[in-house]
Amino acid sequence: MTDATLQRLFHLRTYGCQMNVHDSEKISNLLYHAGYRATDSADAADLLIINTCSIRDKAEQHLYSDLGRLRDWKGEGARRVLAVAGCVAQQEGDSLLVRFPHVDFVFGTHNLRFVAAMASAAERGSRTARVDETDSVERFDLPQRHPDFGGESVGRAYVTVMEGCDMFCSFCIVPTTRGREISRATAGIVAEAEALAASGVREITLLGQTVNAYGRHDARRGHAEERGTASFSQLLRRLAAIPGLDRIRYTSPHPLFFDDDLVRVHAEVDAVCPHVHLPLQSGSDSVLTDMRRRYGRDDFRRTADALRKAKPDIAITTDLIVGFPGESDADFRDTLDLVRDIAFVDGFSFKYSPRPGTSALRLDRPAVPPDEAQERLEELQSLLRSLTLKAHRARVGGTTEVLVEGPSRRGGGQLKGRDPYHRVVNFETPEGLSAPKAGDFATVRVVDATPHSLIALAVS
C-alpha cells in the first residue's frame, strides 16, 4: 500500500520476557502483511497494542496504569483502536472489555494470528476477546518476514521451538498464561533458521518456556516421528550445521531436562554458545519442594558441575526468588551458600509475588514479612553483583568476539554488543580501524570491568 491516507499505523508496547518480545515481532510481522506499518509514536497510531506480562503483580499493574493513561488517547480519534495482548490478556480474557470500555479487543497468547482480522472488526465497532487455548501446531505456521519488516534487531533473531509449560511450579502463572507444552516440528524450525541465516542473521536464540523440554511429550507418547520432533540436543546439532549461523543460544532451560547428550553438545558443538541460563529459584531443599521445582540443591549442583566439566569456561546465570512462603532465615542462607558455591556469573532476583490460581496460594506456610523479603533481596543482589564483578575482572586482558548491536549507552562513539558468554561489552574502535556496524562481529580486547559490562577496545 502506498497511499498514505490509507496506510494504517500501529504502535506496540511490550512488557515481559523474550517470548513476549518475539510474540511482538510476530504480531508486527502479521500487521505488516495486512498493510499496516509500525510507528514509535502513540499519537500517530491508529492501532495501539499492549503486549502484557503477568509474572509478578507489578508487571500486571503496568497494564492498568497504561490503560488509565490511554483513556485520553482513545478519546482523541474516533477511529483509534486499542488492544490488549499477551499473558494478562490470556489470564483475564473478556473481563478486560468489561472493566475497560475503551479497550476494543483482547487476544491471548494462542491467538496472535487473528490480530489483523480483529483490528479491522474493531474498526467496524465490534468488541471481542479471543483467548481460546488450542493444542494445535497451526500457531507456528506464520508468514515469513515481510520485506519491510526487519525484526527488532540486526544480525540476531529469536526462533520459537516450543510453547507452553507443564511444570506447574507452585509460584508461577506461566502454565495458565501460556497453556500446555507443545513442540514445533524440527523441519519448520530448521527452515526458519536457514531463511534467517540466508538473510544475514548470525545468531539465533531458541525460545521456549522450558526450551530443553522440547519434544519430550512427543517422544514419551511415541509421536515423535509423526509430529516430526527430534530431541532438543538433536535439534541443536541440526541447527549448528546451517552455514552462516555462528551462534546458537537457548532460553529458558529447566534444570531437570539436561540429559547427557545436551551436556555433550556443549562440549562438542562450537556454534552452541558457552552460556546457560539455569534458573535455581532457591538453594533450600524444603523451599524447592514447596516450589514444586522437582530438583534439590545437590541435583542442581550436579547439573552445573556436568556443564562445567563438559565446557570449563561456560558462563552460568540464574533466576532466584526470595521471600517464598515459609522461607526461613536458614533457608535463605542456604540460597546464599549455593549461589556463592556455584559462582553464577549473573542472576536475576525477585521478591515472591502471589499470583492468581497458583498452588502456592494454598500452601500452609507463613508469609515472609515484606521488609524481611526486601532485606533478603538486597543481600542476595549484593552477592550477585560481587560475583558478576569478579567474573568480569577475570576477563580483563583477554580477547573476545562481540556481535555488535549498536551504539553504547556510555556515549562517546562507543559500541555495544554481546560476547559468546552473553556478557555485555562496550567498546571503542581505535583510530585507524573502521568501526563495525550492527550485525557485524568485532574482535575486542577487554581493558576494564564493571558489574554491568566489560569495557574493551576493538583489535580488528
The residues of the shown chain that bind ligand SF4, judged by CB under 6 A, are: 165, 167-169, 172, 174-175, 209-210, 254
The partner in contact with residue 273, picked from ligand SF4, ligand SAH, ligand F3S, none with C-beta cut-offs of 5 to 8 angstroms by kind, is none
Query: Of ligand SAH, ligand F3S, ligand SF4, none, which one does residue 175 interact with (CB within 5 to 8 Å by kind)?
Result: ligand SF4
By beta-carbon proximity to ligand SF4, the closer residue of 254 and 311 is 254
From ligand SF4, ligand SAH, ligand F3S, none, interface partner of 418 (C-beta below 5 to 8 A by class) = none
CB nearer to ligand SF4: pick between 130 and 254: 254
User: By rule CB under 6 A, what string of x and - marks binding of each residue 168-187 to ligand F3S?
Assistant: -----xx--xx---------
- Kindly identify the residues of this chain, within the stretch 189-218, that bind ligand SAH according to CB under 6 A: 209-210
Report whether 134 contacts 157 (CB < 8 A): no
| Residue 168 binding: pick among ligand F3S, ligand SAH, ligand SF4, none (C-beta 5-8 Å cut-off by kind) | ligand SF4
- Work out whether 50 is an interface residue with ligand F3S (CB under 6 A): no
**According to CB under 6 A, which one of 8, 10, 12, 20 is a site residue for ligand F3S?**
20
Q: Are residues 186 and 229 in contact, defined by beta-carbon separation less than 8 angstroms?
A: yes
- 11's contact among ligand SAH, ligand SF4, ligand F3S, none, with CB below 5 to 8 A by partner kind, is none
Question: Does residue number 284 form part of the binding site for ligand SAH (CB under 6 A)?
Answer: no
Supply the DSSP string of 151-174, one letter for each residue: -SSSSEEEEE-EE------TT--H
Distances (CA, A) of 24 to 18, 86, 89, 305: 10, 9, 14, 36
Sign of CA dihedral 40, 15, 17, 11: negative
Q: What are phi and psi of 327, to 5 degrees?
A: -65, 115
Binds ligand F3S (CB under 6 A): choice among 8, 10, 11, 19: 19
Helices (H), 114-158: 115-123
Of 29, 212, 281, 400, which lies in the binding site for ligand SAH, with binding defined by CB under 6 A? 281
- Distance (Å, rounded) from C-alpha 386 to C-alpha 390? 6
Q: Which of 343, 442, 348, 445 is nearest to 395 (CA)?
A: 445
Question: Residue 348 has which C-alpha cell?
Answer: 536475576
Q: Which is nearer to ligand F3S, 247 or 355 (CB)?
A: 355
Q: Pick the binder of ligand SAH from 142, 172, 444, 454 (CB under 6 A).
A: 172
One-letter amino acid for residue 88 of the chain: V
Chosen from ligand F3S, ligand SF4, ligand SAH, none, partner binding at 352 (C-beta under 5 to 8 Å by type): ligand SAH
Beta pairing, strands 37-38 & 9-14: parallel
**Closer CB to ligand SAH, 251 or 426, in the complex:** 251
What is the Cα gyration radius of the chain? 23
Q: Which residues contact 319 (CB under 8 A, 6 or more apart)?
A: 252, 277, 279, 280, 281, 347, 348, 349, 350
Q: How far is the CB of 269 from ligand SAH (least distance, A)?
A: 23
239 binds, among ligand SF4, ligand F3S, ligand SAH, none (CB under 5 to 8 A by kind): none
CB proximity list for 343: less than 8 A, separation 6 or greater: 387, 390, 391
Residues 6+ apart with CB under 8 A from 394: none
Question: How far is it, in rounded angstroms, from Cα 62 to Cα 77?
Answer: 23
Enter the C-alpha cell of residue 400. Answer: 573476545
Burial class (CB in 10 A: 0-12, 13-18, 19+), 445: middle
- Minimum gap (Å) between residue 160 Cβ and ligand SAH: 14
Among 15, 107, 158, 171, binds ligand SAH (CB under 6 A): 171
Region of 127-135, 225-233, 294-302, 347-355 interacting with ligand SAH (CB under 6 A): 347-355
Query: How many other C-beta atoms can be found within 10 angstroms of the C-beta atom of residue 152?
Result: 14
User: The C-alpha cell of 448 is what?
Assistant: 576494564
For residue 20, the partner it binds in ligand F3S, ligand SF4, ligand SAH, none, with Cβ less than 5 to 8 A by kind, is: ligand F3S
Of these, 24, 28, 29, 54, which contacts ligand F3S (CB under 6 A)? 54
Q: Does 55 bind ligand SAH (CB under 6 A)?
A: yes
Instruction: Give the residue from 69, 67, 48, 65 showing the smallest Cα distance to 57.
Output: 65
By C-alpha distance, which of 237, 281, 231, 240 is closest to 258? 231
The residue (of 12 and 213) whose beta carbon lies closer to ligand SF4 is 213
Region binding ligand SAH by CB under 6 A among candidate stretches 168-176, 219-227, 401-409, 429-437: 168-176
**Applying CB under 6 A, which residues contact ligand SAH?**
55-56, 171-172, 174, 209-210, 252, 254, 279, 281, 319, 321, 350, 352-353, 355
**Applying CB under 6 A, which residues contact ligand F3S?**
16-17, 19-20, 53-55, 86-87, 173-174, 177-178
